[in-house]
A = this chain, B = another copy of it.
């Protein structure tokens, strides 16, 4: 019942065209691995009304999952997806699930089952000396990872982000396009910084905290808060 193991086969957790979809176009050339399937953690396939989705968008180029496939590859819909991967001989996962807590849990599942995490780092990314990047991250085009920056597994760094020297990004942070950090900033587990926000040096963003787009963060931000503005102020607390 079990396939032989394909050492270069990777399952991508997620199936959105703006993340999994764009990574698919350069992943194999950059890593040598190939994407064998995408994964939807659910007992049923996602139901997408493609015509309705296209009506909501000006771009008509977005690809959606259809008939159990995404971008010509199987889209596995299963709650016990890790067993399905093992059955198919897949031992590597690229975790792109957009929800940070879900991605954190999925990474734990991978580790518990001996699944290897792999990264997708676009070749235009500049990684400065002595940066430490754990496996299982996405870093998109044009980003800069500073000297001695530490990027933990599950971190998503989108287009044109600047992470400066001695930053610490804990597991499953998410950094949206064009975010800028100065030196010695810290991003606790599962924090999320939205597009174009600026974080000055030595600031610490707490676990699960969210910073709104275009914010200027001058002070530490407590865990499970949402902050926004120039300068950023806490606008609410989550739980």
Contacts and interface: CB of A to CB of B under 8 A. Distances in A.
Given A147-B25, A148-B59, A148-B61, A180 B195 contact: yes
Report copies per complex. 3
Nearest to A204: B58
- Among A22, A26, A147, A201, max chain B CB count under 10 A is at A147
Given A130-B61, A141-B126, A213-B218, A178 B166 contact: no
A18 interface: yes
Interface size class of chain A, counting residues whose CB lies under 8 Å from the partner chain: 35 or more
A176 interface: yes
Given A124-B126, A198-B213, A198-B214, 8 more contacts: A18-B147, A22-B147, A59-B150, A142-B144, A160-B180, A178-B198, A213-B216, A214-B230
Interface of A: 17-18, 21-22, 25-26, 57-59, 61-62, 124, 126, 128-130, 141-142, 144, 146-148, 150, 158-160, 162, 164-168, 176-178, 180-184, 186, 194-196, 198, 200-201, 204, 213-214, 216, 218, 229-231
B180 A57 contact: no
A200 B195 contact: yes
Contact of A230 (B129, B178, B201, B230): B230
Contacts of A160: 144, 162, 180
A62 B184 CA distance: 9
Nearest to A167: B59
Contact of A148 (B62, B130, B144, B168): B62
B18 A184 contact: yes
Contacts of A159: 144, 146, 162, 164-165
Contacts of A158: 164
27 contacts: A22-B128, A22-B129, A22-B165, A25-B128, A25-B130, A26-B128, A57-B166, A58-B184, A58-B204, A59-B148, A59-B167, A59-B186, A62-B148, A126-B141, A126-B142, A141-B144, A142-B162, A146-B159, A159-B165, A164-B177, A177-B182, A180-B196, A195-B201, A196-B198, A198-B213, A229-B230, A230-B230
